[in-house]
Amino acid sequence: MYARRRHLYFAMMGVCIGMFVLAWAVVRLWSVPAAVGMCLFAMVIPPVAAIVANRRGPEDRWWDDPSGDQKSDEWWDELDGKRRPGQRDPWGRDP
């Protein structure tokens, strides 16, 4: 999934750069307002590309997923105020 998002990001950024170059190298010779409109549309593409590239996929690991280190996961669960069912407190208190 990461590779697909990365390819989509670079494709969108390539279209953005292409629109800027095309607007001021070719389109401005026929219509300056059309070239300005192309540039305004191209300005919207980078933020959308960043959103698409940083979107979380259904199988992506998220920041609060368990890390695999049991002691660290227990510590973070304690700080966040959440525990897994049946899990003992690291300090020996009852859950």
pLDDT digits (tens, 9 = 90+) for 43-54: 999 999 999 888
Question: Is 7 contained in some domain?
Answer: yes
Question: Is 76 contained in some domain?
Answer: no
Question: Is 21 contained in some domain?
Answer: no
Question: Is 73 contained in some domain?
Answer: no
Question: Is 91 contained in some domain?
Answer: no
Question: Is 51 contained in some domain?
Answer: yes
Question: Is 49 contained in some domain?
Answer: yes
What pTM value is reported for the model?
Answer: 0.60
Q: DSSP letter at 87?
A: P
Residue span of the structural domain in which 3 resides: 1-14+43-55
Half-sphere exposure of 77 (CA within 13 A, CB side): 20
- Residue 52 CA to residue 12 CA, distance in Å, equals 10
Question: Is 1 contained in some domain?
Answer: yes
Distance set, CA 37 to CA 3, 21, 23, 47, 49 (Å): 32, 13, 9, 17, 19
pLDDT digits (tens, 9 = 90+) for 40-86: 999 999 999 999 888 877 666 566 666 777 787 777 777 767 665 55
Of residues 48, 38, 32, 44, the one with CA closest to residue 18: 38
> What is the domain count for the chain?
1
